[in-house]
Amino acid sequence: MNTSATKTSTVTADGRGSSVPEPDYLALLDRVTSWVQGPGEEWSGRIEATGTVPDDLWKQLREEGFLSLAAPRDLGGTGLSFVQWMGLMEVFSRSHASVRMIVHVLNGTWRAMNPFADEAQRQRFVLPAVAGETVVAFTLTEPANGSGADITSSVRRDGDTYYLSGRKHLITFGVRCDYWLLFARLEGSTGRDGTVALLVDRNTPGVQVEDTSATMGVRGTDHASLTFTDAPVPVGNRLGAEGDGLAVALGGFLTPSRISVAMSCVGLAQRAQQLAVDYARQRTTFGKPLASRQAIAFSLAENAADIAAAKALTLTAAAAWQAAEPTAAALSSMAKLTAVDMLGRVTDKALQVHGGIGYWQTQPIERVYRDARAQRFEEGTNEIQKAVIAREILGGAAG
């Protein structure tokens, strides 16, 4: 008897246990690939020319269902397994970095909210976010602190209202969002036990928003620096209990998000490699195609091996998280660390294959090269990833 055929899959609050039949998934993968290679390329040109992401692109992504792919069906999502979702992220990441950023963020923030939301909050915040009708900006990083228990933005409670003061920066979609999913601490507290997670309305009084979108790459994605001065936030907008703030921020969100960033590195590296291969085949020097030069061929071979290794590790991490294995957090950091370093090597070699012309904005590799550098900062630097990995391998010895 095949017991697996009779097993009932349980979908958790973060979507683990959900999946779609393989034929449906392959059809969806084909549709995403066609969009990335067709309309996605047209949007890329418009974004680079204007430096902004048009509202029409957000609308198209929503209408295509691309903002609701990763969530389970009971939240209005497509119900992909996490490993299936990573296959789509690999493809989306070959598109413009702002397209990838929109799809990555909007398919991820529900993971932080849903496990801690009550039913009223689920209806008000989670379901509209999954549908792509509202944009929730993850708001953790501060200019004078790291991205953990050392946050100093604080709230004081007066009845049914928190009054929020502090600063946040490098907040993706912090300008155009509908809500900031913001992490602060109770006034006078220290450590993780004093942290709270709040959904702060974008139009809350007492908030100063500075647009800081002028970046090296990922053009079109807005970023914000935020200053809060006694900004009122209803207690009803708190996710979980007082003291759950970092659990909301890090618990069900950070591990899968790091794996998603790792797969984004794989997809972007594949795009860089394909551009280099195409150029090497077309470019002729001294009467021979560039691809016939051993130095070029070896660089492309190294890239191919590098990409395959990073992809394999990322899929291992994705499967571990999907199965709720205890090694998933460390594997996610290993995957991101490895994939980020791989992407740097691959894009550098891919640009070098182009020679000097690769430095010009007329060449697609120039944008890919710029966008690749941003991956080092998403969901923690390489140094943070090493600390997570070291804690895992040394934990037993340290008692």
Active site residues: 379
CA-based nearest residue to 70, from 118, 119, 103: 103
Q: Which structure tokens are listed for 374?
A: 């941003």
Phi, psi dihedral angles at 365 (to 5 degrees): -65, -25
Q: What are the phi and psi torsion angles at 124 (to 5°)? A: -80, -35
Q: What is the DSSP string of 240-287?
A: SSTT-HHIIIIITTHHHHHHHHHHHHHHHHHHHHHHHHHHHHH-EETT
∠154-155-160 over CA atoms, to 5°? 170
Measure Cα distances from 365 to 276, 279, 318 in Å.
8, 10, 28
Contacts of residue 131, defined as CB under 8 A and 6 or more positions apart, other chains included, come to 62, 67, 68, 76
User: Are the C-beta atoms of residues 88 and 29 closer than 8 Å to each other?
Assistant: yes
Q: What is the DSSP string of 278-307?
A: HHHHH-EETTEEGGGSHHHHHHHHHHHHHH
- At 197, is the secondary structure helix, strand, or coil? strand
Enclosing H/E stretch for 189: none
Neighbours of 190 (CB within 10 A): 10
Closest by Cα among 146, 253, 141, 140 to 197: 140
Per the rule left: phi > 0, alpha: psi between -120 and 50, beta: everything else, 167 is beta
User: If we measure between CA atoms, which residue out of 109, 73, 70, 108 comes closest to residue 87?
Assistant: 70
8 Å CB contact between 239 and 204: no
Q: How far apart are CA 132 and CA 70, in angstroms?
A: 12
Residue type, position 355, single letter = G
